[in-house]
Amino acid sequence: MRAAILFGPEDLRVQQVPEPEGEVIVTVEAATTCGTDVKMWRHGHRVLGPYPCPFGHEMAGVRTDTGERVLVSDSVSCGRCPPCRAGRPQICRDPTWVLGGFAERIAAPARALHPIPGGLPAAAAAMAEPLAAALHAVARGTDDADVGILGGGPMGLMIAALLIARGRAVTVAERHPERRRQAEQLGARAVTALDGHALVFEAVGRPEAWTAALRAARPGGVVVLVGGCPPGAEVTLPTGALHYDELELRGAFHHSPSEVDAALAALASGEVDWRVLAGETITLEQLPGALAAPAGGRARKWVVDPQATG
Ligand SMILES: [Zn+2]
Ligand SMILES: [Zn+2]
């Protein structure tokens, strides 16, 4: 079968590879790209196996054994480690990562599979993976009505959509005008810089953005750090704001299986309009060029159809 294999930083090749082997084989109908893919492609990532490695973590398709339509979650937690036992599977110490959505077929543990609600297209179902992470980020926040989001990429916009649906006043800070327009279409206020919010989400994934998010929080505020920075990155924190203003910093990583099901339900019910973020459908062969394209302009996720050729 054809698969996009990552051979090293910025070296993604589409090749014929042996059929995958594992518990359940899923024919991939759609795999979406995200900021994490760009980071993985550019810098490598802690969850990638040794090069050359399979690639792609937002995918949906059809089980070859039962014909059921499923989302393939990108991870399965161990169920035994202290975070798993504490009900926090997203920070499992020994997860099994399920990567390789940019391929005609993928092998996955049965526990990674989530049934797709009837009628939801595969491209939309694949987006339940990042939407589940957005739901998790929201759950890590507070009930404050006044929310600032730093970053109007797909993750920032998904968090905005979820909070707006819950009746919160959302301000999105983003330097690209097209993304500001998308945020406004969702019902957010769009600005170029945040200023004093009770709850702030960082959805950029750069150390300077983490610092900016912290400076955008009101005294007593909560900052949820959603964007993963390049490996080894560190930030310098203003001790005054943390101490005298009692700012609270919370990490938000990944999602739980129940959050994946909740995301699928939110997409199927129309609570979140997945079409706002769907970019063009491309082939596996077009994927390396798409990842290398500049990130400016409209926030969108490429939809890879691995069955299409050319
Ligand atoms: Zn993703
Ligand atoms: Zn675990």
CA of 123 to the centre of ligand 1 (A): 13
- Express each pLDDT in 87-146 by its tens digit: 999 999 999 999 999 999 999 999 999 999 989 999 999 999 999 999 999 999 999 999
Counting beta carbons within 10 angstroms of the beta carbon of residue 182, is it exposed (0 to 12), middle (13 to 18) or buried (19 or more)?
Answer: buried
More confident residue, 198 or 300: 198
pTM for the predicted model, two decimal places:
0.95
Q: What is the pLDDT at residue 206?
A: 94
- Express each pLDDT in 159-193 by its tens digit: 999 999 999 999 999 999 999 999 999 999 999 99
Give the residue from 129, 70, 107, 116 showing the smallest Cα distance to 257: 129
- Express each pLDDT in 268-306 by its tens digit: 999 898 888 888 999 999 999 999 887 778 888 999 999
Q: What percent of the chain has pLDDT over 70?
A: 100
The length of the chain in residues reads 310
Task: Specify the residue for token string 């979140």.
Answer: 272
Neighbours of 166 (CB within 10 A): 13
Task: Specify the residue for token string 């959302």.
Answer: 170
- Does residue 310 have a pLDDT over 90? no
In sequence order, which ranges of 94-238 are alpha helices (DSSP H)? 122-126, 128-140, 154-165, 177-186, 207-215
CA of 296 to the centre of ligand 2 (A): 37
Q: What is the pLDDT at residue 137?
A: 98
CA of 159 to the centre of ligand 1 (A): 14
Taking all residues of the chain, what is their mean pLDDT, rounded to a whole number? 95
CA of 275 to the centre of ligand 2 (A): 34
Backbone torsions φ then ψ of 300, nearest 5 degrees: -155, 160
CA of 35 to the centre of ligand 1 (A): 6
CA of 222 to the centre of ligand 1 (A): 24
- Does residue 65 have a pLDDT over 90? yes
d(CA 259, CA 301): 20
CA of 243 to the centre of ligand 1 (A): 34
Q: Which residues pair with 171 in a beta bridge?
A: 148, 189
Provide the strand spans (E) within 9-142: 11-16, 24-32, 53-54, 59-63, 69-72, 75-76, 96-97, 105-108, 113-115
Q: What is the pLDDT at residue 82?
A: 98
Q: Is 214 helix (H, G, I), strand (E, B) or coil?
A: helix
Predicted confidence band of residue 72 (pLDDT cuts 50, 70, 90): very high
Predicted confidence band of residue 13 (pLDDT cuts 50, 70, 90): very high
d(CA 269, CA 255): 20
Give the residue from 122, 130, 179 showing the smallest Cα distance to 159: 130
Give CA torsion, residues 192, 197, 202, 206, to 10 deg: 60
Beta strand 217-225 with 248-251: parallel, antiparallel or unpaired? parallel
